[in-house]
Amino acid sequence: MIEYIEGTPRHQIHLFNECLDEIIDENNIVRFIDAYVESLDLEKLGFKVPAMKTGTSPYHPGVKLKIYIYGYLERIRSSRRLEKECNRNRELIWLTENLSPDFKTIADFRKDNTKALKNLFKEFLKLCHKLELLSFKTVAIDGTKMRGQNSLNEVYRREQMEKIEKEIQGKIENYLRELDEIDSIEQKSGVSVNKEKTENITNRLSKQMKRKDKIAFINQIFENNPELKTYYATDEDSRLQSDKGKIRPGYNVQTAVDDKNKLIAVAEVTNEQNDKKQLSPMIEKVNEQKEELHIEDKTAVVADAGYFSENEIMNNKDNEDFPIVVSPSAEGGPVVNSKNGKGKARPSAGYEVDNFTYDEERDVYICPENRELKRITKTPAIDCHGRETHRYRCDPGFCSLCPKRELCTNSEKGRMLRVSVNQKEILDYIESLKNGRNKRLIGKRKEIVEHPFGTIKRSFGYTYFLLKGMEKVKGEFSLICFVYNLKRVLNIVGINGLMEAIK
C-alpha cells in the first residue's frame, strides 16, 4: 500500500507559533518594498498624511502604498481583491504586519494620491541613476493605446441624440401600452395577471425613464457647449482611440525609454488620437528629467513615423537634442501632399509625388511625363496639418491630353500638388536620416522602446485603466511604469543590490 505525504490535522493544537518574519525568505521582493517605502518621505512626495483627530486611528499611508506596489507587481489591481489578499496572502500579511484595510480605504488611497504616485515614479529614477542604470545617451519615444473606463455604449454624439430620444420614447410607450392592456384584462376578468410579468415590465419601464432623464441631462450639456460634438458619459477625458483595428474609448500613453537598460525615463498620458503633436512635449519632459538627475550630456531622441510632423521637426531644429524621427516616406507615405480628385485615393506607382522633380530656379515641378506644374498661389495657405503650403497645378489642357492621365489624376482641373514652404528643409532632414549614426539609431529604436510596452501589456496584462479622468489616469500609469522599472532593476541588480542602494 502506498504511503502518501500527510498534512497537519486542522484540529491539532500547536505549542509553538511561527514568527511572522520566518515565513518570508530573505530574498523576497516584499523586503525591498518594505524598506524602500520606509526610506521615503511620503509627505514630501505629496502623499496625503491624515491630520490628528479624535476617533478611530487611520492606516499609515505607507501601509497602503506597500499594498499597491505589491499588488501591481503581482498583477492584482482591484481594491476588493487586495483586501482579500491582505487576509490570506502570507507576503502581504508580512508586508502590512497583519493589517487588512477595507477595499474602500485601499481604493481611496490610489484615487486621492495621483500626483504623489507620479512623484514616486520620478523618485525611483533617482535610485536607478544612483545605481548607474541610466545614461540618457539615447532615448526612444513611443506611444500605445490603453482602454479607459468608458464603454462605446456610453459615448454620445450630438447628431445621434434625437434618434436615441425617439428610441427611448418608443420603448416607454410600448411598456405603458402593455401595462394598460394588463390592467384592462384584470378589470374585465377580475383575475390578476402574472405578477412576475407585470414586475418585469415595470422594471424595464423604470430603466427607460432613467435613460430618458440621462439623455435630457446630456442634451443640456450639448446645449451649454455648442462646440462639443461627442460626450463621454463615464470618463469625460477619454477619447475614441484606434488600436489594432478596434475603436474604443481610452487614452494614448507615451513613454521615453533609456537605451542603457530599457528603463522608462518619462511616463505621460494624453487623449490625442495620434502621436503627431507629442514629439515636443516628450522631448521637454526628457529634458526636465535630465535636469532633476543633473545630467548634462546630449541625448539622441528617436521616434517612429507616427511622430513625423513638419511643425514638430521645424520647432526642434535648434534643439540640442535634435530628434531622429522616421520619415513616412520610408514607410510608404508621401512627403509632399497631392490632390488627385474624387474616387482616387492616390496615384498609381510611378506617378506619386516622389516621382515629381522640383526646378528651384523656375519654381515649378516637373511630372514624370515632363509636364510643368506651376505655382498658383501667391501667399502660403495653412493646410489641415497646420503647415504653410503653396499649390502647384498642371495646365488642364496638357493634363487632359496626357495618355497617362488616368494613372496620375481624375481631376478635371489637372494634377495638383500642395507643397510646404519648408519642403527643402524637410527633404534635407529626411536625407540626413540616411547617415550611418542616424540609420543605426533608427534600426535600434524598436528594441529599446517596445520592450516596456510588451511587458506592461502582455506580461502584466495592463491594457486598460481602472481610474477615470486624465489626472487619475496619469497617476495610475505612473504607478504601472514605476512597477515595470522596479521589476526591471530587480532583474538587473538583484534584491541585495537594491537593498544596499537604499541603506
**How confident is the prediction along the chain (503 residues), in pLDDT tens digits per residue?**
788 777 778 787 766 667 878 888 889 999 999 999 999 999 999 998 876 665 678 899 999 999 999 999 999 999 999 999 999 999 999 999 989 999 999 999 999 999 999 999 999 999 999 999 999 999 999 999 999 999 898 999 999 999 999 999 999 999 999 888 888 887 777 666 677 888 898 999 999 999 999 999 999 999 999 999 999 999 999 999 988 888 999 999 999 999 999 999 999 999 999 999 999 999 999 999 999 999 988 899 999 989 998 888 888 877 666 788 888 765 544 555 555 444 444 588 888 887 899 998 899 999 999 999 999 998 888 877 778 889 999 998 888 889 888 889 888 888 999 888 888 888 888 888 888 888 899 988 988 988 899 999 999 999 999 999 999 999 999 999 999 999 999 999 999 999 999 88
Torsion of CA 41, 44, 49, 53, to 10 degrees: 100
Number of CB atoms found within 10 A of residue 163's CB: 10
Collect all residues with Cβ–Cβ distance below 8 Å to 99 and sequence separation of at least 6: 59, 63, 86
Q: Which of 232, 264, 281 is the last residue of a domain?
A: 232
pLDDT at site 343: 44
pLDDT at site 332: 46
Phi, psi dihedrals of residue 464, rounded to the nearest 5° = -150, 165
Same-domain pairing of 446 and 390: no
Residue 409 maps to a domain = yes
- C-alpha angle with apex 211: 210 to 212, nearest 5 degrees? 90
Same-domain pairing of 303 and 444: yes
Same-domain pairing of 316 and 341: no
Number of CB atoms found within 10 A of residue 245's CB: 5
Paired strand residues for 141: 256, 303
Range of the domain at 397: 333-430
User: Using CA atoms, how far apart are residues 489 and 431, in angstroms rounded to an integer?
Assistant: 38
Same-domain pairing of 410 and 357: yes
pLDDT at site 342: 44
Same-domain pairing of 263 and 281: yes
Same-domain pairing of 420 and 342: yes
Same-domain pairing of 142 and 268: yes
| Domains in the chain, number | 4
Same-domain pairing of 311 and 455: yes
Q: Which of 204, 232, 260 is the last residue of a domain?
A: 232
Nearest to 152 by CA among 222, 252, 247: 247
Query: CA distances (Å), 492 to each of 66, 131, 262, 428, 487, in order?
Result: 22, 10, 11, 41, 9
User: Using CA atoms, how far apart are residues 41 and 466, in angstroms rounded to an integer?
Assistant: 27
Same-domain pairing of 56 and 35: yes
Same-domain pairing of 319 and 462: yes
Residue 294 maps to a domain = yes
Same-domain pairing of 25 and 74: yes
Residue 191 maps to a domain = yes
Number of CB atoms found within 10 A of residue 398's CB: 16
Same-domain pairing of 138 and 192: no
Paired strand residues for 382: 388
Given the C-alpha cell 502506498, which residue does it identify?
A: 2
DSSP 331: G
Residue 51 maps to a domain = yes
